[in-house]
Amino acid sequence: MEKCKNYEKNLKDCTCTYEPCSRKGFCCECIKYHLKNGGMPDCIESLKKKPQRTQRKTLNF
């Protein structure tokens, strides 16, 4: 995997609890992986549970 320009920030903010995960910090790869396997990563799931107050977000699956 190529290193993302936001890798350090992504890694700091990552909510993944799977310790040997090779996609931590690589959000694009993580989201692609979960979509391919019929799921969503925890960071996206948490947006559905607690939407931001400043901006309305719509997630359709």
Q: What is the pTM of this model?
A: 0.67
> How many domains does the chain fold into?
1
Is there a domain that residue 59 lies in? Answer: no
Is there a domain that residue 54 lies in? Answer: no
Is there a domain that residue 56 lies in? Answer: no
Is there a domain that residue 60 lies in? Answer: no
Q: What residues make up the domain containing 15?
A: 7-49
User: Which amino acid makes up residue 37?
Assistant: N
Is there a domain that residue 35 lies in? Answer: yes
Determine the pLDDT at residue 33: 95
pLDDT digits (tens, 9 = 90+) for 3-17: 789 999 999 999 898
pLDDT digits (tens, 9 = 90+) for 1-60: 667 899 999 999 998 988 899 999 999 999 999 999 999 898 888 777 765 566 665 666
Determine the pLDDT at residue 46: 78
